[in-house]
Amino acid sequence: MVKNKSQMVSIVTTSYNSGRFIEDCIISILSQDYPNVEHIIQDGDSKDQTKSILRKYKSPKYGGRIKIFVEPDNGQSDGLNRAIQKAKGEIILVLNADDMLAPGAVSWGVEQLNKYPKVGVVYGDAYIIDEKGEITDIYKAHEYDFEKLLCVELVPPAQAAFIRRSALERVGFWADATLDTCPDFEMWVRISQKFPMKHVFGVVTKYRVYESPQLDSKKPRMTARFVAAKKEVMDRLFESKKTPLRIKKLKRRAYASLNLWASQCAYGLGQPKQAFLYLIKSFLLQPSFGKLQKIIKELKAFSVYRLSLVWRSI
């Protein structure tokens, strides 16, 4: 149980053409049992029904718990930065417009940050849901490790990560608006160079996964965009004179692991050809028997597929 409920929690949500799901997101926050919450919605001038839905929640009956801002932006990262700048809370959570918080999630986040006063971020686990909101899987995050975080071998679910405001202020109270996408990765790398992060078991959010790529700030969510953004963050760190040598030595491993992560991501987005190419890149950067096995398996599957096409044509 949370004893001190005076701490304000700011939940920041960026949206663009999120009309199918944004009301579910809002309701999941209004249903929280923690009393001191503000929900900041930064909409990038949506062209679907999002605006009409948001108008409903400007009503005084919500007591200022929902703060809505509609204005054109330069993409997901810019929208997130604008939202964070408006946050007043001592604790911040980034929640996508198509995701939802589980009941009691905010109380859980406040309790865990109070329990671990030296960490900058506490993150939990997430249910994976489909477009209908049905639970299809569970994402169990791994224990925090800076090297694994940087090398994308650990991917904390942003929707289940509660950020201590004082920690973010220490490293810069902003999201990197210059990045095309994946601003959470840059934020984790920046914060974790000064403060540890902590994983605590417990499902606190519902993360929506689609069968086909969706828009991400007016652009399709594609693996190539994710890779380019994360590599940019890595490059900055590896090229900085302030970066310790022990971290710079991770460069090859980081690029290899990024490509391995990209391979898995591409498969999830229904891009098998790109997935195979990312797997090859990862193997060339950092060979391993496990990767070789995957490559052979994929080549066999492709050969069987080609033979089936020949057989059908006879």
Domain of 129, CATH number, reads 3.90.550.10
What kind and span of H or E run contains 88? none
Burial 103-138 (b: 16+ CB within 10 A, else e): ebbbbbbbbbbeebeebbbbbbbbbebeeeeeeeee
Which residues, at least 6 apart from 35, have a Cβ–Cβ distance to it below 8 Å? 5
Of all residues in the chain, what percent carry a pLDDT higher than 90? 77
The two tokens of residue 268 are 């999830």
pLDDT of residue 312: 43
Of 38, 185, 17, the closest CA to residue 97 belongs to 17
Are 78 and 127 in a shared domain? yes
Same domain, 58 and 204: yes
pLDDT single digits (tens) 78-137: 999 999 999 999 999 999 999 999 999 999 999 999 999 999 999 999 999 999 999 999
Question: Residues 232, 185: contact at Cβ < 8 Å?
Answer: no
Same domain, 119 and 19: yes
Mean pLDDT over 275-282 rounds to: 90
Looking at the domain assignment, is residue 4 inside a domain?
A: no
Within a domain: residue 46?
yes
**Would you say residue 18 has pLDDT above 80?**
yes
Among 166, 188, 216, the domain boundary falls at 216
Predicted local distance difference test score (pLDDT) of residue 236: 97
Q: What is the pTM of this model?
A: 0.91
Is residue 127 within 8 Å of residue 203, measured between CB atoms? yes
Tokens for 20?
A: 């199918």
Beta bridge partners of 101: 205
Could you report the per-residue pLDDT of 166-214, keeping only the tens digit for each? 999 999 999 999 999 999 999 999 999 999 999 999 999 999 987 765 5
Q: Identify whether residues 37 and 147 lie together within a single domain.
A: yes
**Least confident range of 12-16, 185-189, 193-197, 288-292:** 288-292
Q: Please write the tens of the pLDDT for every residue from 53-85.
A: 999 998 888 888 999 999 999 988 999 999 999
**CB-based contact 298:279 (threshold 8 Å):** yes
Average confidence (pLDDT) over 255-283: 89
In a domain, 243, yes or no: yes
CB 185 within 8 A of CB 158: no
Domain total of the chain: 2
Task: With respect to residue 66, please indicate whether it lies within any of the assigned structural domains.
Answer: yes
For residues 235 and 275, which has the higher predicted lDDT (pLDDT)?
Answer: 235
- Give me the domain span that covers residue 301: 222-313
Same domain as 309, residue 183: no
What does the pLDDT look like over 218-243, one tens digit per residue? 666 688 999 999 999 999 999 999 99
Structure-model confidence comparison of residues 295 and 171, the more confident one:
171
Lowest-confidence range among 13-17, 183-187, 262-266? 262-266
User: Is 203 domain-assigned?
Assistant: yes
Same domain, 149 and 283: no
d(CA 45, CA 48): 9
Domain boundary among 216, 237, 262: 216
